[in-house]
Structure 1
């Protein structure tokens, strides 16, 4: 009997995973992911990237469709809705984090749109989300990682990105559609062959940088939908695309490292993604969160006003010495999401970390821009040693000079990650509060309450449309 290829094994995992067999922590994590992602999307509808995503979703999705663009109430095709919702989830850069980096804006929108169009249940969506995140996590861990080190030094890969999430995204769509194992195998083979290029490093090396971010979420959602539909319509995929290191996906996507045993070891019985699933309290690149935790504690405990701050010095993660993060030219609200200096300047203003952080009056205001000039940073001297101990480790140190004193803060684990420090885990109540902060003023208070309750009880929802129908704009 011929040994199954990796895509065939992944297809088997996708279809063999049943809701009733999912561990409770997996089910809980999937509901948290869905709630957090919808909230991030709602908070983004007035942001430039979000508005563009909505308009393109309308252009490609037509009218009178059966899938909803979050925050608008527009019903368009699944292709249009998935594109727009992927862009919306990722716009604020407040969406969840999981190796290889960001996963949810790529893998959730297609399943959500197809699920709504088919009247799928909450259980079906949870199962699709679980499969997609586990698959994306495992494939991501089998490849190069941005935080890789070599010989005790930071060693970011020359080619990097989130293109590998196309497999999880395709699996999620296929799972909701009920495709059989043979069709799904071919769909995954097709997905590998049409995956977008890994352009992350080019994006990070040029500042002010492209506003597509990482890899355009909307484009990958459409690649996944295409792969699933092409498989369903009868196209044959490359079943060996993940097995052939010399000519297959590992080679043409640009990874230096390929460890396929990470993908298959315990697949289906050992669910690994929940342990490294992180949430973002701040709408800013995750590299700054431990610093923002410390900064917030300092300025709030001592009631320090921005005008009192003479300087902020930070010790940061080793891989961020690239133009994207050291950039000080803030020409677009997008630039503010990654600049170390600007992010710390905003954090010192004690603005609630919701969509308010993207308000142009704050981003480009004299107070923030002036304080930004008083921010300096260097690489944390123990960065490599500290990150090797635990996956959630993001060592950071900060000094705030104000009132003739120096206030010092230090963190190893940022809020939002599961770590040896229990208080860093973001509770469901905290995620609900974050959701409300992003949704306020976009949908009505009663709809906010309904969506929160429905998503936290997602396994009891018979038709996803009952949730999506509550995500139109409030008339108030």
Structure 2
């Protein structure tokens, strides 16, 4: 009998060996951990982050083996994982990888159980790499937000990040030392516990709900439940990925299902590093190329917000949906996605950090007033350039100020791997972003020790001291 897909993926997870991984895979795993920890630290003052902390402690108690990042609080691995998942996604500052956001779903449980289990840095790197590779492959096998049909980008009726539950469950099983068979059962259970793909509804409704695309905390809990239930002896549906008629493909409502993406080259070809994308701004990724262009103009010409008469954007072609066209900013999270608010904020050239979402800035008269001067149209070359390269985001910005029109264009946003080497965020730039997120949350000494420790993660014999340096100061 042929192996099922859950069995193939379980074997991949259980046999992953950092020593056999290309150096770029190991490096990217470290970079993802660094960026994710920083985003969690930045989220501690956000409403979504505070709710996540309180619910996580309610769920897992106020004494335990795992750190609630950016706070002096500790909880069980289950509670800390919930809190940290919500913290990571609070600012919308975290890394992007097909099918969309991945790290807030696959890393919190992995980190919490790695800390409670005192695993080595090598084992943690293996789990991080497998979680991202597996999730990336699911993203390529299913409907995607930028899929092209008949030469046009069209948003599928049902899209989302629910499939990250598989990579998240596998990684928890890995740091707990589970064998391939147990991880395969966990994946079968994870498919049955998978959240619905609610992203499409969220995109089409405004003002948006604060659960975002798929709530991070509950998905992490589903993954943890799957891993631990399998460990305790539950049997998963190991055919759940193979059955196209009644299995995961059917009830997750993806029209496209190409399972070859899950297995082709698995274990020998690591694909996630080529599309791992980092965010230089705490705002939806769709606006990053426009922000690059706008902020460049503001700096080059010394344009003050009060001098601006109009901002015109030509950008991504598939985002004429309510969540991005929303101009009713009722909650700080609304500002993370609104095109008009994002450009108005960018024109103020505030250093990217959680300060972008401070209420006094989000609801300030200068930003809200400038929103009314922003217009958006689809860039005429969007589809053609996207077809040539997945990171292409053709953008044109025009700013009317002082009786002059200033213009700038971009092909690729900062943070994306692309033919332009300047768009890649270097490790030094990620470290600077980490410092901005940690400012006022950690001591300078702990900040620098964390950066050094994560970048040297492969040398750690026990990750507990490192992860516990991410605990914040007392409130």
Q: TM-score, normalised by structure 2?
A: 0.99
1:177 aligns with 2:173: no
The within-5 A match list for 1:151-162 is 151-162=150-161
Deviation (angstroms), 1:153: 1.9
**Aligned match of 1:101:** 100
**Aligned match of 2:453:** 454
**Aligned match of 2:276:** 277
Is the Cα–Cα contact under 8 Å of residues 73 and 471 in structure 1 kept in the other structure?
Answer: no
Deviation (angstroms), 1:40: 0.6
Deviations 1:397-436 (A, max 9, x none): 1111111111111111100011000000000000000000
SS of residue in 2 equivalent to 1:320: coil
How far apart, in 2, do the equivalents of 1:52 and 1:406 lie? 44
Deviations 1:291-333 (A, max 9, x none): 0000010000000000000000001211111100000000000
Is the Cα–Cα contact under 8 Å of residues 44 and 50 in structure 2 kept in the other structure?
Answer: yes
Is the Cα–Cα contact under 8 Å of residues 70 and 471 in structure 2 kept in the other structure?
Answer: yes
**Aligned match of 1:37:** 36
Gaps of 5+ in 2: none
RMSD, aligned α-carbons = 0.9
Q: TM-score, normalised by structure 1?
A: 0.99
**Aligned match of 1:294:** 293
Is the Cα–Cα contact under 8 Å of residues 108 and 169 in structure 1 kept in the other structure?
Answer: yes
How far apart, in 1, do the equivalents of 2:62 and 2:320 lie? 45
1:247 aligns with 2:246: yes
**Aligned match of 2:207:** 208
**Aligned match of 1:166:** 165
The within-5 A match list for 1:78-97 is 78-97=77-96
Deviations 1:211-266 (A, max 9, x none): 01110100111000000011011111110111111111011001000011111110
Deviation (angstroms), 1:475: 5.4
**Aligned match of 2:387:** 388
Is the Cα–Cα contact under 8 Å of residues 111 and 172 in structure 1 kept in the other structure?
Answer: yes
How far apart, in 2, do the equivalents of 1:89 and 1:152 lie? 35
Gaps of 5+ in 1: none
Q: Which consecutive segments of 4 or more residues in structure 1 shift more than 4 A?
A: none
**Aligned match of 1:5:** 4
Deviation (angstroms), 1:47: 0.5
How far apart, in 2, do the equivalents of 1:294 and 1:338 lie? 18
**Aligned match of 1:59:** 58
**Aligned match of 1:316:** 315
SS of residue in 2 equivalent to 1:43: helix
The within-5 A match list for 1:318-467 is 318-467=317-466
1:187 aligns with 2:186: yes
Is the Cα–Cα contact under 8 Å of residues 295 and 398 in structure 1 kept in the other structure?
Answer: yes
**Aligned match of 2:467:** 468
**Aligned match of 1:219:** 218
SS of residue in 1 equivalent to 2:385: helix
Deviations 1:256-292 (A, max 9, x none): 0001111111000000000000000000000000000
How far apart, in 2, do the equivalents of 1:321 and 1:244 lie? 35
Is the Cα–Cα contact under 8 Å of residues 135 and 167 in structure 1 kept in the other structure?
Answer: yes
Is the Cα–Cα contact under 8 Å of residues 171 and 184 in structure 1 kept in the other structure?
Answer: yes
SS of residue in 1 equivalent to 2:97: coil
Identify which range, 149-158 or 174-183, moves more after superposition. Answer: 149-158
How far apart, in 2, do the equivalents of 1:195 and 1:180 lie? 22
